[in-house]
Structure 1
Amino acid sequence: MTNKEVLIGIIIGLIASAVGVILSLLFFGTGESISDSLSIAIAQSVFTKLVSIGALLNLGAFFLFVNTDKELRAKGVLIATIIVALITIIIRFT
């Protein structure tokens, strides 16, 4: 049961990060659509900054799980945040 709860937390954390990236593209993007904004962000080398802003939604999910005594799911969200951070570092320095 514990691995299932951690996996649920990881999935929720990755989904929250993806939604956060989409929201940050909608708010800060300069293109006419999300795909245009994504292309512009990649071309201007600001995509990693948008991913970092998008990962802020994980903070809300983490505290929601901690306050509802679902520590294993919170652990999964933390793992997802670390995964997103590592991917961001890899993208940034390659």
Structure 2
Amino acid sequence: MTKDIFIGIFVGLIANAIGLFITANLLGNGDDFTKVIKAAAEEGFLGKLISLGAVLNLIAFFIFIKKRQDYRARGVLLITVFIAVFTFVFKLF
């Protein structure tokens, strides 16, 4: 049970990182990934970029639900909620 939750958290983190990379490349107009992230932080929309990256977690969540791997889906949901809280706090400060 605990192992499956950690697998879900890991999958959620990887899916979010891949989603962030894809989003930064699509919206970055061909610039380098680190350059896009630095520009997003300076202009104040890094939280929005991270939130867009979390869309891939939705896909992972529904795949785990369809396969009846509820604890892995719970891990993906936990990391998605954590990312939402992180972006909310990041936006405040």
The one-letter code matched in structure 1 to 2:51 is: S
Distance 1:54 1:18 in 2: 7
**How much has 1:14 moved relative to structure 2?**
1.1
- Quick one: structure 1 residues 91 and 31, their matched pair in 2 at CA, closer, same or farther if it must change by over 3 Å? farther
Unaligned runs of 5+ in 1: none
Q: CA RMSD in A?
A: 1.0
Counterpart of 1:28 in structure 2 is 27
| Alignment deviations for residues 30-53 of structure 1 (CA, whole Å, 9 cap, x no partner) | 462001111111111111111111
TM-score by length of 1: 0.94
Aligned twin of 1:93: 92
The residue number in structure 2 matching 1:76 is 75
Provide TM-score, normalisation by structure 2.
Answer: 0.95
Inter-partner Cα distance in structure 1 for 2:75 and 2:61: 9
User: 2:14 is matched with which residue?
Assistant: 15
How far apart are 1:5 and its partner, in Å?
Answer: 0.3
Which structure 1 residue ranges, 4+ long, deviate > 2 Å from structure 2? none
Distance (Å, rounded) in 2 between the aligned partners of 1:19 and 1:36: 17
CA distance in 1, matches of 2:31, 2:21: 14
1:30–1:44 distance in 2 versus 1, CA, 3 Å: farther
SS of residue in 1 equivalent to 2:51: helix
Q: Deviations over 1:7-58 (max 9, x none)?
A: 1001110111111111110001246200111111111111111111100000
Give distance in 2, aligned partners of 1:40 and 1:30: 12
Number of the residue aligned with 2:39: 40
Paired residues of 1:9 and 1:77 also in contact (CA < 8 A): yes
Letter paired with 1:12:
V
